[in-house]
Structure 1
Amino acid sequence: MPRPRSLTPEQLASAALAVIDRDGLAGLSMRAVAKELGVSTMGLYRYVTDRDELERLVVERVLGAVDTEPPEPGAPWRERVTVLAGRLRATVGAHPEVVPLTVTHRHHSLGVLRWSETVLAVLTEAGLEGERRVVVLRALLGYVIGAIQLEHLGPLSGPGTTALAALPVAEFPLMAATARDARTVDADREFLGGLALLLDGIAV
């Protein structure tokens, strides 16, 4: 019997990501990834212990692709933070089914650590340090990850907004009106507008 071929973490992550992109997060299983790789399910257990480990590999595969090079050093700090936030949004948004996993596994990701280190360097140059820098970094991470989730799992152009716009005006006048207005806001305006509000607060 031939010896099973060796698999690298990159191959495992790519196969798992392919399954998620094609079948959704619910389709991720040891069996599905083994089939994608052309190996037996039991053979896959030689490399990973369970689905949780596969998820961590996928998150690192996606977040590790984020460009963490410092933006233009002469640009204002707000512009540089906006560039970095946009890079994270674009990279994760290319695989929307992975978005929920980034919340659970981001602390294990070297990609997020490198992104955060670059953001912290920009914030430090802007004069933030100590507890305020901690709060600002977490606020930025929370905003970007939350905004990505809303964009892909509950977009303004989706059925949820349509349903809200149809609420009885007598009972929910403001919700109905806001939902109607929301249908004219595209994803970029929503993301950048919310980020600008956050950066305004940081600047103050």
Structure 2
Amino acid sequence: MPRPKSHTLTDVTTAALTVLDQDGYAALSMRAVARELGVSPMALYRYVADRDELERLVADRILEPLVQEVDAGPWQHRIAVLADRLRAAAGAHPEAVPLLLRHRHDTLNSVRWIETMLAVLAEAGFHSAGRVLAQRAIVHHVLGAIQAQQLSPLDGAGTASLAELPPAEFPHLAATASIARGMDPDDEFHRGLASLLEGLRREAGSPTTPPPA
């Protein structure tokens, strides 16, 4: 008779998330999570089949806030709410960004988030290839912002070095980098998203905005 399990999947997911937050994505392993739980590495396999399943559990936990209801309103506002939720979820666990990117198509909460966004776009009048292009453009903007904030924030050394390039040789780059250092990441994200959505609206031929329910 198999021994009764002393932990739950929730315990395992919590332990994995703790390892991620404290030690980083590179440190996430079955052995590290087992140690956090206080069990042997082999005992962890009674709960998850492998590292891949462990990552999916963590990704699904992080993305739980994405599947809340979205209030009625203009489609641009609803898309912005969905985009903000993904950015906030990733921002709360920056070391999990590689994991979220890898599993964005095979975790239930991520798939539900995508379905909700596609429904908003469909109601707004985006159809066929236009809806595909709109959804991908929005997701690329959000994921790009998440990765940029984690890997090369505006106030990081990379932007600072670009701002110090000789203006005579790199006038536009030096000036732009200098301005970028003073920009607020949230403002940059929302203004960029608003510009993108306006461009999509024009490209699609002014999709209709459904009235509030």
Q: Does 1:64 align with 2:72?
A: no
Query: Residue 52 of structure 1 corresponds to which residue in structure 2?
Result: 52
Q: Show the 5 A alignment for 1:70-109.
A: 70-71=70-71, 73=72, 75-109=73-107
Count of matched residue pairs: 201
Deviation at 1:6, TM superposition (A): 4.1
Identity of aligned residues (%): 57
* Contact in 2 for aligned 1:69/1:118 (Cα 8 Å): no
Matched, 1:166 2:170: no
Q: Distance in 2 between matches of 1:4 and 1:31?
A: 21
2: distance between equivalents of 1:66 and 1:181?
Answer: 33
Look up the match of 1:180: 178
TM (normalized to structure 1)? 0.91
1:32 match = 32
Q: CA deviation at 1:201?
A: 1.1
Larger RCO (CA under 8 A, 6+ residues apart): 2
TM-score by length of 2: 0.88
Whole-angstrom distance in 1 between the partners of 2:67 and 2:138: 17
Aligned counterpart, 1:142: 140
Give the distance between the partners of 1:203 and 1:110, measured in 2 at CA. Answer: 29
The whole-number CA distance in structure 2 between the counterparts of 1:41 and 1:166 is 50
Matched residues in 1 for 2:154 and 2:43: separation? Answer: 44
Q: What residue identity is the alignment partner of 1:64?
A: E
Cα distance in 1 between the residues matched to 2:78 and 2:57: 29
Q: Measure how far apart 1:67 and its partner are.
A: 3.9
**1:129-167 C-alpha deviation (Å, 9 max, x unpaired):** 111111111111111111111122211011111111122
Distance 1:28 1:67, change over 3 A: same
Letter in 1 for 2:115: E
Residue matched to 1:5: 5
Distance 2:68 2:133 in 1: 21
* Whole-Å separation in 2 of the counterparts to 1:143 and 1:10: 32
